Amino acid sequence: MKMKTLANAIQKGGQGKTMTTCHLAFDGARRGLRVVVIDLDPQGNASYTLEAHACGLFASQMFDDSPDLVLSFFADRDNSGITLIHNDDRLANIEKLDLEDAATLLRTHVEALSQYFDVCLIDTPPFLSNVMASALLSADFVMSPVELEPYSLQGMEKMVAVIQNLREANPTLQFIGMLPNRYNVKIPRHVENMAILRDAYADLVMPFDIRQRDSIAEALGNQIPVWEIKKTAARDATKEICVMTQYVFEKMEVIQ
Ligand SMILES: Nc1ncnc2c1ncn2[C@@H]1O[C@H](COP(=O)(O)OP(=O)(O)O)[C@@H](O)[C@H]1O
Ligand SMILES: [Mg+2]
């Protein structure tokens, strides 16, 4: 099976990119997939939650001139479970490169990783940048978690345009869809915005949602998946997350 790469991207913070990246990593690992996570967000939230899985490589190294380091680093290593490529401050230097050069370097490194992993997950920063665009130019799939708030929907509109643009340079990129996240059915504005989102984007919206669940935030803070939170309140959250991971992995064709 060829490695499949998924970027979580939307040019707005707080939508659930990192939440999704981490839960896909945890779930992929328990399914026996070899999962590598590249944290391209300078905020480093995924690096915090997945810290126990840090391999010693840093995200900026995925833009090195040659993939030799990656090729030798993973060759004699047990690559099962989750492998984290940690964020670092040198990511800022990537913004000084031409986008085309940055994207070519990242693509070369993702290609090198494909010898050792089944799934590559890329967490991206909440703004359009060389690293975000490079991620989309290196990925096979992209998904966009989105809150049911006006600013978020505006961010979504921009993201759809960016994805459409970048697909010209990376025609293999498939949009798995928008993931309505942190949905609170008790807020009429959310219910209304959900209807607007589904009406405007139809098939581009995943056919389920994830509610606002305290146990999800608690789990990420405790560096564990939500199904390891031993509270009855975590059960519904677990169900919702697992519907999402199953759907995404099926679309990526990494599971049956
Ligand atoms: N469904 C949810 N319910 C409750 N809290 C959530 C949910 N999804 C994400 N969060 C929390 O909201 C914040 C933003 O999520 P995060 O994944 O970091 O967004 P992003 O990576 O898009 O900036 C985090 O504190 C996270 O723990
Ligand atoms: Mg994040």
Q: Structure tokens of 9?
A: 């991207």
Confidence of residue 256 (pLDDT cuts 50, 70, 90): confident
**14 Cα–ligand 2 center, Å:** 7
pLDDT tens for 25-61 read: 999 999 999 999 999 999 999 999 999 999 999 999 9
* Whole-number pLDDT of residue 197: 95
* Whole-number pLDDT of residue 243: 98
> Mean pLDDT across the chain, nearest whole number?
97
Longest dimension (CA), the chain: 55
Give the three-class secondary structure for 190.
Answer: helix
* Whole-number pLDDT of residue 144: 97
Would you say residue 90 has pLDDT above 90? yes
For the CA of 44, the nearest ligand: 2
- Distance CA(53)–CA(123), nearest Å, equals 15
In order, the DSSP letters of 126-150 are SS--HHHHHHHHH-SEEEEEE-SSH
- Distance CA(252)–CA(247), nearest Å, equals 9
Mean pLDDT of 96-114: 98
- Distance CA(181)–CA(108), nearest Å, equals 33
Phi, psi at 123, each rounded to 5°: -95, 135
* Whole-number pLDDT of residue 202: 93
Alpha-carbon separation of residue 76 from 52, 64, 134, 255 (angstroms) = 20, 21, 28, 26
* Whole-number pLDDT of residue 160: 94
- Distance CA(134)–CA(91), nearest Å, equals 12
* Whole-number pLDDT of residue 1: 82
How many residues can be counted in the chain? 256
- Whether the CB-CB separation of 145 and 10 falls below 8 Å is answered with yes
* Whole-number pLDDT of residue 223: 98
Q: Which residue ranges make up each domain of the chain?
A: 4-252
Please choose from 220, 238, 239 the residue to mutate so as to test ligand 1's pocket, defined by most ligand atoms within 8 A of CB: 220
* Whole-number pLDDT of residue 234: 96
Helices 214-221 & 233-252 angle (0-180, nearest 10): 80
**CB 19 near ligand 1, within 6 Å:** yes
Class of domain 4-252: alpha beta
Please choose from 19, 47, 236 the residue to mutate so as to test ligand 1's pocket, defined by most ligand atoms within 8 A of CB: 19
For ion ligand 2, residues whose CB falls within 5 Å:
17-18, 45
Element (H, E) at 124: none
pLDDT tens for 124-149 read: 999 999 999 999 999 999 999 999 99
Mean pLDDT of 95-104: 97
